[in-house]
């Protein structure tokens, strides 16, 4: 294992890609077009931030890498499914994702819906197959990820987001929507590693919970800033799409300067939380900074 986290990022990314490859049916497996689309939606690029958060939290707590693979893979599968749905004509109607045609453009709308539909249960199958973890971990992870993905998590956030188009949300309402739409899966990534640590001290669990909440909201504010300031060929999706759809976003409601200030404030709050872990939190610190500084 390389010494610095920067160097380990590449090996963790390679690792989760290999586990994703093993979890997904071969592209040639019948019905091949569906399996091709599922693989396209997962392997068309992607920073793998959520799996990296799982592994970094595991490093912070001293949880064995092998048991982290299941939540890392499952959460990335859920993320991939949400992006496919998010890009559909009935949602954000986007042609470009990660610099490539979206799944419904590359294949067709029905295949894209089905591919996303099939990625979601595959995630739970991966969690159900977890081995070598403390007793009861598998079912706890299923519940954690289900809640993060469902109506009290990501799907609920997306529903609020769509209903807010053309409206003016207050700061609290906006951050609540971000906490659900984007924050819930980020939060689940961190909490999944906590669940795999038997007998984790309540104080440490609380600190990581707060870290996860801050960084989840910061992630979406940064995504909004990139939509305003980024260039399509760099961010890999259509720049300016939020304004086009009259989305309620941080920059639209409070301006880019205030969005940056809030992002930095949330980052600082998140970093302050990590103090009690000392050097073992270096990977999480690195990822928190990356989330706020990233260019795509």
Structure tokens at 50: 């959520």
Cα dist. 72→103, 192, 248 in Å?
22, 9, 30
Site string for ligand GRG, 213-252 (x = CB under 6 A): -------x--x-----------------------------
| CA dist., res. 135 & res. 71, Å (int) | 16
Lookup: tokens for 95 = 């042609």
3-state secondary structure of 63: coil
Report how many helices (DSSP H) and strands (DSSP E) the chain contains, helices first.
16, 2
Residue 204 or 296 with smaller CB distance to ligand GRG: 296
Q: Which is nearer to ligand GRG, 24 or 207 (CB)?
A: 24
Among 9, 34, 49, 284, binds ligand GRG (CB under 6 A): 49
Spatial separation of the C-alpha atoms in residues 230 and 224, rounded to whole Å: 10
Q: Rounded to whole angstroms, how far apart are CA atoms 44 and 40?
A: 6
Question: Closer to ligand GRG at the Cβ: 46 or 58?
Answer: 46
Q: Judged by CB under 6 A, does residue 256 bind ligand GRG?
A: no
Nearer to ligand GRG, 133 or 184 (CB): 184
Should residue 111 be labelled a site residue for ligand GRG when binding is judged by CB under 6 A? no
Among 24, 40, 52, 82, interactor with ligand GRG by CB under 6 A: 82
Binding interface with ligand GRG (CB under 6 A)? 46-47, 49, 79, 82-83, 85-86, 91, 98, 154-155, 158, 181-182, 220, 223
């Amino acid at each position: 294992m390389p010494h610095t986290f920067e160097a380990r990022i590449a090996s963790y990314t390679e690792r989760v890609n290999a586990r994703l490859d093993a979890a997904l049916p071969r592209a040639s497996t019948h019905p091949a077009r569906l399996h091709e689309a599922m693989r396209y939606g997962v392997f068309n690029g992607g920073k793998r931030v959520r799996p990296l958060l799982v592994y970094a939290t595991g490093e912070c707590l001293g949880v064995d890498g092998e048991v982290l693979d299941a939540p890392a893979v499952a959460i990335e599968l859920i993320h991939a499914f949400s992006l496919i749905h998010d890009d559909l004509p009935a949602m954000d109607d986007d042609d470009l994702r990660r610099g490539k045609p979206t799944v419904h453009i590359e294949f067709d709308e029905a295949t894209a819906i089905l591919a996303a539909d099939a990625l979601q249960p595959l995630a739970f199958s991966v969690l159900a197959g977890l081995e070598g973890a403390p007793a009861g971990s598998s079912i706890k992870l299923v519940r954690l990820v289900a809640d993060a993905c469902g109506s009290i998590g990501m799907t609920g956030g997306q529903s609020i987001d769509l209903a807010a188009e053309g409206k003016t949300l207050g700061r609290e309402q906006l951050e609540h929507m971000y906490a659900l739409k984007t924050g819930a899966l980020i939060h689940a990534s961190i909490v999944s590693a906590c669940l795999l640590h038997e007998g984790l001290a309540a104080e440490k669990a609380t600190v990581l919970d707060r870290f996860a909440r801050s960084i989840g909201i910061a992630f979406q504010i940064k995504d909004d800033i990139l939509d305003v300031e980024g260039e399509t060929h760099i961010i890999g999706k259509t720049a300016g799409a939020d304004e086009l759809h009259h989305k309620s976003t941080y920059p639209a409601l409070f301006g880019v300067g205030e969005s940056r200030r809030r992002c930095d404030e949330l980052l600082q709050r998140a970093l302050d939380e990590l103090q009690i872990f000392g050097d073992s939190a270096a990977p999480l610190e690195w990822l928190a900074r990356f989330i706020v500084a990233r260019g795509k």
